[in-house]
Amino acid sequence: MSYRRIGVNPISGALGAEIDGVDLSRPLDNEVFAEVHQALLDHLVIFFRDQAISPDQHVAFARRFGEIDLRPFVRPLELEVLPDHPEVLDVVKEPGETLNFGGVWHHDVSYREKPNLGSVLIARESPTHGGDTMFANQYLAYQTLSDGMKTLLGSLTAVHSSIRGYDGDRLASLYGVRKDDLDEDSVKRSIAKAETTQAEHPVVRTHPETRKKCLFVNRSYTMRFSGWTDEESRPLLAQLFTHSVKPEFTCRFRWRAGSVAMWDNRAAMHYALNDYRGQRRVMHRVAIHGDRPF
Ligand code: SIN
């Protein structure tokens, strides 16, 4: 589509666009908001640079897209919300920590019956280098499958669970590190102590707004196909986890303090790179409620 009020500059051939001409510290008029919303649907993840926004302004922007999710994770996690702003999650990695939050490809909270619509993330403090976030287009992941595979996957649902966040062994295996190499703070921050949450979703979901089909499985939370054993599911899931994040389906965003990303969690996965050991990274995140996938 053509945009009249905002600039939209794609950053890769697959997904992602930087938006110009928008100041998120001010309320967006309806026409600008409609174009920003359309840019999100067209590009799956949109970025805004040099935004000086308060937590209230951050929440106000996210709220234009839907109701705020006050429980964006299985609780209680050792992740903090901001004092006086229960909607804003403080995602901090300290210089001594080994694991980072979101360092495995995932759709946020896909273990819930209604995974988030999306999230708005702002960098408050970014490392001098490293700490980028990658995103992957799951329309493309679906469209590039063979007709035979599309037919098979179209008939399947999958079980998603939060269980891998539960203990040091599972966490280490998910992140591909040795348990002994995990520092205590990382483990404490990452492990969910609440009950496991799980949900079943179609493996191919239809985006409720664009009506296009996309792949909906991820390495963090998808455990098996419904009615299949773990052993039966493993090879095909492994193939889909690899296929869904082929480099040509991805983009990579370099943060600076004041950079904002908003992603569509229904059609994009993301991955926070953990390549800035010894440096601090501080992000604030607001999540938006989504629908039950169909
Ligand atoms: C996440 O929400 O998964 C974290 C993203 C990031 O910190 O880059």
Tens digits of residue pLDDT in 134-192: 999 999 999 999 999 999 999 999 999 988 766 666 667 677 777 777 766 666 666 55
Mutate to test the pocket of ligand 1, among 45, 91, 109, 284 (most ligand atoms within 8 A of CB): 91
pLDDT at 79: 62
Please choose, from the candidates 161, 255, 212, 170, the residue with its C-alpha nearest in 3D space to the C-alpha of residue 44.
Answer: 212
Amino acid at 181: D
Question: What is the whole-number distance in angstroms between the Cα of residue 290 and the centre of ligand 1?
Answer: 18
Angle made by CA atoms 277, 164, 202, in degrees to the nearest 5: 120
* Segment 3-43, tens digit of pLDDT: 999 999 999 999 999 999 999 999 999 999 999 999 999 99
pLDDT at 250: 98
* Segment 68-117, tens digit of pLDDT: 998 766 554 456 778 788 899 989 999 998 888 888 999 999 999 999 99
pLDDT at 76: 44
Angle made by CA atoms 256, 23, 271, in degrees to the nearest 5: 40
Q: String of b and e for 155-174 (b: at least 16 CB within 10 Å)?
A: ebbbbbbbbbbbeeeebbeb
Owning domain of residue 48: 7-288
Q: Classify residue 189: in a domain, yes or no.
A: yes
Residue with the smallest CA separation from ligand 1 atom 2 is 102
The pTM of this model reads 0.93
> Number of folded domains in the chain?
1
Q: Residue 198: which CATH number?
A: 3.60.130.10
- The pair of three-digit structure tokens given for residue 165, joined into one six-digit string: 């966040």
Q: Classify residue 293: in a domain, yes or no.
A: no
Q: Classify residue 74: in a domain, yes or no.
A: yes
User: How far apart are the C-alpha atoms of 197 and 195, rounded to whole Å?
Assistant: 6
Residue with the smallest CA separation from ligand 1 atom 4 is 102
Tell me the mean pLDDT in the region 258-271: 98
Mutate to test the pocket of ligand 1, among 133, 220, 254, 264 (most ligand atoms within 8 A of CB): 133
Residue with the smallest CA separation from ligand 1 atom 8 is 272
Q: Which residues are catalytic?
A: 106, 108, 270, 285
Alpha helices in 215-256 (DSSP H): 230-243
* Segment 202-241, tens digit of pLDDT: 999 999 999 999 999 999 999 999 999 999 999 999 999 9
Tell me the mean pLDDT in the region 190-207: 81
Ligand 1 binding pocket, CB closer than 6 Å = 91, 101-102, 121, 133, 270, 272, 283, 285
Tell me the mean pLDDT in the region 242-269: 98
- Which of 172-177's residues contact partners 24+ apart within 8 Å by CB, and which partners? 174/104, 174/219, 174/220, 175/99, 175/103, 175/104, 177/98, 177/99
Q: Classify residue 2: in a domain, yes or no.
A: no
Q: Classify residue 132: in a domain, yes or no.
A: yes
